[in-house]
Amino acid sequence: TVPEKVLHEMSQFSRANFPATRMRRVRRHDWSRRLVAENHLSVDDLIWPIFVFDGKGRQPVESLPGVDRIGLDQIPATVESACRLGIPVIAIFPATPSDLKTPDAAEATNPDNLVCRAVRKIKQEAGDALGVLCDVALDPYSSHGQDGLVRDSYVINDETVEVLCQQSRVQAEAGCDIIAPSDMMDGRIKAIRDTLESAGKTNVQIMSYAAKYASAFYGPFRDAVGSSGNLGTASKNTYQQDPAQSDEALHEVALDLAEGADTVMVKPGMPYLDIVYRVKSTFGVPTFAYQVSGEYAMLSAAANHGWLDRDKVILESLLAFKRAGADGVLTYFAEEAARLLQP
């Protein structure tokens, strides 16, 4: 925030100098607006999330209009599109068949689970031309829809961390480049880093969902991975952050960096740009934001009604992340935005 005294001086200065100072001069022409632009959005800023299911073809997700779950047979075309458009990273989320969901989420550590098969297929197609990110949390695999193991209605921390380490290991061994823990258990970054080191995966990155809030904006994602029915009316409030908190996000980021995170993520995105700004200005590390499913659903629904200009709100919302300090954005608009950003 600009101190009161400086604001006063600025206003005196401008008043004294009108018409010498006309703020609109530099806004008059497109060439001038481009020349003075402080922030830029490019394809290099995009992480493209995809939902995969065990089958063929595509399945629409009702609460995410325009986003489909894809079968493994669709991966080559998806990879081809990402590479052609220049998108740096794809993030994979599995819609696990419900008969494979159990209280202990054992499928999460199966080296042949859907995510691992998808990673192998993407790497087979793209090699190092495309980065692959995998989420680490148990909710796509647990019959209760929680991100960890549950005992006496409480998500237990340390036992969960052990499972998350095994989940990270199988994903890294399948070829994943970026492990992205989204579970919010304490101490998991160090434990996962140690696991990756001892598995010889020293160059696999960790992008920690360091500041992740207990948000109602995740609803459509839970539909897409089929966990909303499992979770029911239970909440994730005992591990995800309270939306009332701001300083606590910095504490979380500091811990995750100390534990070995390479990059950090703030989630959700648009309602939490203040957190993005504080994280980037405090730590100066690569900082990402997740424009989550509910944000996509809002903008997309309004655009589908003709109430918002779809292309313009996509680009404006993504540029706002850059202005707040984000180095990149995980967004369901990634493929569409990449097309709009082609030179």
Catalytic residue set: 212, 267
- Distant-in-sequence, close-in-space partners of 312: CB < 8 Å, separation ≥ 6: none
Least Cβ distance, residue 96 to ligand PBG (angstroms): 12
- Look up residue 101 and give its two tokens: 């969901």
Nearest to 297 by CA among 268, 277, 327, 276: 268
Which residues contact ligand PBG (rule: CB under 6 A)? 135, 137, 139, 147, 182-183, 218, 221-222, 236, 292-293
Least Cβ distance, residue 278 to ligand PBG (angstroms): 21
Residues in the chain: 343
Cβ proximity to ligand PBG, 60 vs 200, nearer residue: 60
**What burial letters (b/e) apply to 26-57, b meaning 16+ CB within 10 Å?**
eeeeeeeeeeeeeeebebebbbbbbbbbeeee
In three state form, how does the secondary structure of 108-147 look? HHCCCCHHHHHHHHHHHHHHHHCEEEEEECCCCCECCCCC
Say how far apart CA 222 and CA 199 lie, in whole Å: 31
Cβ proximity to ligand PBG, 193 vs 213, nearer residue: 213
Cβ proximity to ligand PBG, 6 vs 216, nearer residue: 216
Say how far apart CA 166 and CA 208 lie, in whole Å: 17
Name the residue type at position 68.
Answer: D
Least Cβ distance, residue 166 to ligand PBG (angstroms): 17
Instruction: Say whether 62 counts as a known binding-site residue.
Output: no
Cβ proximity to ligand PBG, 28 vs 236, nearer residue: 236
Least Cβ distance, residue 130 to ligand PBG (angstroms): 20
Annotated binding site: 252
Annotated binding site for Mg(2+): 252
